[in-house]
Amino acid sequence: MMKFIVAYVVFQIIIFTVLIVISSKKDKRFAAAIQKPPPNFEPTNEVFYDPIENIMKRVYYNQFTGERIYLTELD
């Protein structure tokens, strides 16, 4: 019975670790900070204050894909 309990706990730890690794790869909040916009991204007039990071951010838009990214405003 003790082997079963130990195996169950080890299995739960493995599953938890795998889920953390997957979420860190998928979640964009863990992505490295981008210093300049990628190709085809143009700045918009949208600038906003991010109260969580305490910084100003500018929205960049890719007209081909419709994707938007938010980069730190340096000025």
pLDDT tens readout for residues 44-66: 999 999 898 888 999 999 999 99
48 & 60 share domain? yes
When comparing pLDDT for 26 and 10, which is higher?
Answer: 10
31 & 42 share domain? no
> Residue 58: which domain range?
38-74
28 & 42 share domain? no
30 & 51 share domain? no
Task: Give the phi and the psi of residue 31 in degrees, each rounded to 5.
Answer: -70, 150
Quick check: 30 pLDDT over 60?
no
Give the model's pLDDT for residue 36: 84
> Comparing C-alpha atoms, which of 74, 64, 70 is closest to residue 34?
70
> pTM (2 decimals)?
0.54
54 & 67 share domain? yes
When comparing pLDDT for 66 and 34, which is higher?
Answer: 66
Instruction: Give the total number of structural domains in the chain.
Output: 2
